[in-house]
């Protein structure tokens, strides 16, 4: 067989995978082919489990609006951070994780060598202008050997990735529409955050950024 030649412009359209830190892989545009289905499935989820601003244990209201799908959902209130099976707003189980979400997260993980990632939780974060997430670690999950997969949709954000200690100087990284990042191994417990969102707009989401984070929480 012969090797097909790719024109430079075709190469440019292929998702590129780059290791942005040890065991952390950015796959540019990996979610683009499925964006319409993802956004339609997202609309259904937020119609059942609305986005809401949760309260931190310290009494602050988060600037990011959140909801969940999957058998477990991440919540915070004055009692603390935890995963629940039910939406505290409705008393109903969190909406099921759509196939489009599950497949995307599973396939992104395979691309980076995690062959058995089956998330049971998807936290949905909605940022409008000014919303931010201060440096934190994701430590409420039971199994840190499983990665976290994040999907960015809509207007771009500047993401910060620090080290294993809060005082480690973070590097900055732009995350744009369709980008998927797999955070495994050594990167799984690194401090990370999102800088205050700049005003912008995107045809797919208007003036919002949406981030989906897939976890094996239970």
Q: Which is nearer to ligand MD3, 10 or 22 (CB)?
A: 22
- For position 141 contacting Fe ion by CB under 5 A, the verdict is no
Residue of this chain nearest to Fe ion (CB atom): 138
**Alpha helices, DSSP H, located in the chain:** 8-13, 35-48, 99-111
Q: Rounded to an integer, what distance in angstroms lies between the CA atom of residue 95 and that of residue 157?
A: 27
Q: Rounded to an integer, what distance in angstroms lies between the CA atom of residue 66 and that of residue 63?
A: 9
Q: Which is nearer to ligand MD3, 8 or 145 (CB)?
A: 145
- For position 183 contacting ligand MD3 by CB under 6 A, the verdict is yes
Q: Which is nearer to ligand MD3, 177 or 190 (CB)?
A: 190
Question: What are the tokens at 206?
Answer: 């208007």
Candidates 132, 133, 117; CA nearest to 215 is: 117
37 φ, ψ (degrees, to nearest 5): -65, -45
150 touches which of Fe ion, ligand MD3, none (CB within 5 to 8 A by kind)? ligand MD3
Using CB under 6 A, pick the residue from 190, 197, 208, 217 that binds ligand MD3. 190
Residue of this chain nearest to ligand MD3 (CB atom): 211
Using CB under 6 A, pick the residue from 100, 126, 160, 187 that binds ligand MD3. 187
- For position 138 contacting Fe ion by CB under 5 A, the verdict is yes
For residues 93 and 87, is the Cβ–Cβ distance under 8 A?
yes
By DSSP bridging, strand 133-136 and strand 171-175 are unpaired
Q: Rounded to an integer, what distance in angstroms lies between the CA atom of residue 200 and that of residue 154?
A: 9
User: What residues make contact with ligand MD3 under the rule CB under 6 A?
Assistant: 123, 125, 133, 138, 148, 150, 181, 183, 187-188, 190, 192, 194, 211, 213
Which stretches of the chain bind Fe ion, using CB under 5 A?
A: 138
């Amino acid at each position: 067989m012969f090797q097909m030649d790719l024109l430079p412009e075709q190469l440019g359209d292929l998702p590129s995978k780059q290791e942005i830190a040890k065991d952390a892989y950015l796959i540019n545009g990996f979610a683009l082919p499925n964006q319409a289905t993802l956004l339609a499935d997202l609309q259904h989820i937020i119609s059942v489990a609305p986005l809401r601003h949760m309260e931190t244990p310290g009494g602050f209201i988060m600037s990011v609006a959140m909801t969940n799908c999957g058998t477990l959902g991440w919540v915070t209130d004055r009692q603390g951070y935890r995963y629940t099976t039910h939406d505290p707003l409705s008393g109903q189980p969190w909406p099921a994780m759509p196939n489009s979400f599950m497949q995307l997260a599973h396939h992104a993980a395979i691309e980076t060598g995690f062959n058995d990632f089956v998330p049971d939780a998807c936290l949905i974060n909605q940022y409008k202008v000014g919303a931010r997430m201060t440096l934190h670690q994701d430590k409420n999950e039971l199994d840190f050997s499983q990665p976290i997969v994040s999907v960015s949709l809509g207007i771009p954000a500047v993401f910060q990735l620090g080290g294993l200690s809060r005082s480690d100087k973070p590097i900055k990284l732009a995350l744009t529409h369709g980008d998927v990042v797999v955070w495994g191994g050594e990167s799984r417990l690194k401090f990370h955050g999102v800088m205050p969102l700049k005003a912008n707009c995107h045809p797919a989401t208007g003036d919002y950024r949406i981030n989906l984070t897939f976890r094996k929480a239970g």
